[in-house]
C-alpha cells in the first residue's frame, strides 16, 4: 500500500520549547486543520474546514502562549480531527467521522485508507507524546482543547470545562483556584463531555495509565477566537497552573 503522507505533508507532531523547564507537558491533539495532499479537501468547503468540526479553534495559539508563560514543552498535532481524531481510540466509530455536528464528510465515507491514517498520523503522534512522558521529565500532563458554544442547537454555558476520571484532585485544585480568582467564570466538571475508555485517549492512556497528574481542559472557543482572547486565557491558565505547581510543591 502506498503511503498517505507524501513529500510536502508536514509531520503530525510538532514539539515546541523542547528544552522547557516546567514539569508540565502541554498536549494539543486538535491543534491543526491540515489535510494530507492526497486527501484533497475531504469534500468540504473552506468554511467547513475552518469551523469547530475541523479543529479546536484557538487551542494551538493558547498552547503556544502557555508554553511561553510556563516555559513548558508542548506537543501539537498538525492534522484535522476530521482526518483522524487523535483523542479517540482508533477503533472508535468516530475516530474518522463520516458526519460531524450534522455535516457529512464525503472524504471519510467508505474509506479505503483508514489504516494509513492510524499508522502515519495517530501512532507516530502518540509515540512522541509517550516518548516525552516516559522521559521522566514531566509530572503533570495537560491537554488543551476548545469546544463550540452551541452543539446540535444546544447552547453550552461553561466558559471552561475540566475532563477527568481517576485524577479528580488536579482538576479540582485548578478549578477551585480559578473560581476564587475569576469569580465570573462558569466552570464545568466533566462538561461538555464525559471521558470514557472507548471514546477518549489522552486521559486514560497518557494520564491514568502512567499515574501522572493530569487533566484535559476545554475552553469555549468564542473566548479564544481572537489574539486578545487567546492572550487572556493563556494568562488565566498560566496563572492557575503556576499556582497549582506551587501548591503541589509545598
Ligand atoms: Zn478537542
Ligand 1 centre and the CA of 139: distance in Å?
A: 22
Ligand 1 centre and the CA of 115: distance in Å?
A: 22
What pLDDT, on the 0 to 100 scale, is given for residue 185?
A: 98
Ligand 1 centre and the CA of 176: distance in Å?
A: 23
Q: Decide if 45 contacts 96 (C-beta within 8 A).
A: no
Residue that is written with C-alpha cell 514543552 in the block: 73
Ligand 1 centre and the CA of 54: distance in Å?
A: 10
Q: What is the tally of structural domains in the chain?
A: 1
* Total count of residues recorded for the chain: 250
Residue 196 DSSP symbol: -
From residue 128, how far is each of 4, 35, 48, 131, 165 by CA, in Å?
19, 20, 29, 5, 24
Task: Return the exposure string of 158-187: e unless at least 16 CB atoms fall within 10 Å of the residue's CB, then b.
Answer: bbbbbbbeebeebbebbbebbeeeeeeeeb
Which is it for strands 140-147 and 99-100: parallel, antiparallel or unpaired? Answer: unpaired
Report which secondary-structure segment, H or E, holds 232.
helix 227-248
What is the domain extent for residue 102?
13-248
CATH of the domain at 19: 3.40.630.40
In a domain, 196, yes or no: yes
Distance of alpha carbon 203 from the chain centroid: 11
Reported as a single tens digit per residue, the pLDDT across 140-163 is 999 999 999 998 889 999 999 999
> Mapping DSSP to helix (H, G, I), strand (E, B) and coil, where does residue 214 land?
strand
Ligand 1 centre and the CA of 228: distance in Å?
A: 21
Reported as a single tens digit per residue, the pLDDT across 192-244 is 999 999 999 999 999 999 999 999 999 999 999 999 999 999 999 999 999 99
In a domain, 228, yes or no: yes
Which three cell numbers, joined as nine digits, stand for 121? Answer: 498520523
Q: Decide if 107 contacts 61 (C-beta within 8 A).
A: no
Ligand 1 centre and the CA of 134: distance in Å?
A: 23
Residue 222 DSSP symbol: G
Ligand 1 centre and the CA of 248: distance in Å?
A: 27
Helices (H), 59-168: 59-70, 114-117, 123-134
Distance of alpha carbon 63 from the chain centroid: 9
Report which secondary-structure segment, H or E, holds 178.
helix 169-181
Ligand 1 centre and the CA of 199: distance in Å?
A: 12
In a domain, 230, yes or no: yes
Residue that is written with C-alpha cell 508563560 in the block: 69
pLDDT-based confidence at residue 1 (cuts at 50, 70, 90): low
**Tally of CA atoms within 13 A in the half-sphere of 171 that contains its CB:** 24
Reported as a single tens digit per residue, the pLDDT across 67-118 is 999 999 999 999 999 999 999 999 998 999 999 999 999 999 987 678 999 9
| Nearest by Cα to 131 from 194, 70, 75, 198 | 75
Ligand 1 centre and the CA of 20: distance in Å?
A: 24
Ligand 1 centre and the CA of 29: distance in Å?
A: 7
Which is it for strands 24-28 and 140-147: parallel, antiparallel or unpaired? Answer: parallel
Ligand 1 centre and the CA of 250: distance in Å?
A: 32
In a domain, 124, yes or no: yes
In a domain, 3, yes or no: no
Please give all residues whose CB falls under 5 A of ion ligand 1, grouped by chain where several chains appear.
30, 56, 145
In a domain, 227, yes or no: yes
Ligand 1 centre and the CA of 14: distance in Å?
A: 17
In a domain, 33, yes or no: yes
Ligand 1 centre and the CA of 146: distance in Å?
A: 6
In a domain, 5, yes or no: no
Ligand 1 centre and the CA of 1: distance in Å?
A: 30
Ligand 1 centre and the CA of 28: distance in Å?
A: 8
List Cβ neighbours of 107 (8 Å cut-off, separation of 6 or more): 39, 40, 41, 42, 43, 44
Amino acid at each position: 500500500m502506498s503511503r498517505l503522507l507524501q513529500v510536502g505533508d508536514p509531520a503530525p507532531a510538532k514539539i515546541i520549547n523542547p528544552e522547557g523547564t516546567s514539569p508540565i507537558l502541554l498536549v494539543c491533539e486538535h491543534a491543526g486543520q491540515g489535510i494530507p495532499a492526497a486527501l484533497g479537501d475531504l469534500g468540504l468547503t473552506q468554511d467547513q474546514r475552518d469551523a469547530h468540526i475541523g479543529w479546536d479553534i484557538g487551542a494551538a495559539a493558547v498552547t503556544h502562549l502557555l508554553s511561553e508563560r510556563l516555559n513548558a514543552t508542548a506537543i501539537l498535532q498538525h492534522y484535522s480531527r476530521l482526518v483522524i481524531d487523535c483523542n479517540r481510540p482508533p477503533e472508535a466509530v468516530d475516530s474518522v467521522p463520516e458526519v460531524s455536528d450534522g455535516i457529512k464528510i464525503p472524504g471519510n465515507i467508505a474509506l479505503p485508507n483508514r489504516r494509513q491514517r492510524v499508522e502515519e498520523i495517530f501512532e507516530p503522534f502518540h509515540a512522541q507524546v509517550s516518548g516525552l512522558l516516559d522521559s521522566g521529565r514531566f509530572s503533570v500532563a495537560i491537554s488543551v482543547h476548545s469546544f463550540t458554544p452551541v452543539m446540535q442547537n444546544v447552547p453550552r454555558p461553561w466558559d471552561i470545562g475540566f475532563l477527568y476520571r481517576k485524577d479528580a484532585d488536579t482538576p479540582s485544585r485548578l478549578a477551585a483556584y480559578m473560581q476564587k480568582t475569576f469569580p465570573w467564570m462558569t466552570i464545568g466538571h466533566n462538561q461538555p463531555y464525559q471521558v470514557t475508555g472507548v471514546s477518549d485517549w489522552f486521559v486514560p492512556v497518557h494520564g491514568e495509565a502512567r499515574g501522572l497528574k493530569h487533566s484535559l481542559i476545554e475552553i469555549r472557543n468564542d473566548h479564544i477566537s481572537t489574539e486578545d482572547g487567546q492572550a487572556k486565557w493563556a494568562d488565566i491558565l498560566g496563572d492557575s497552573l503556576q499556582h497549582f505547581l506551587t501548591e503541589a510543591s509545598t
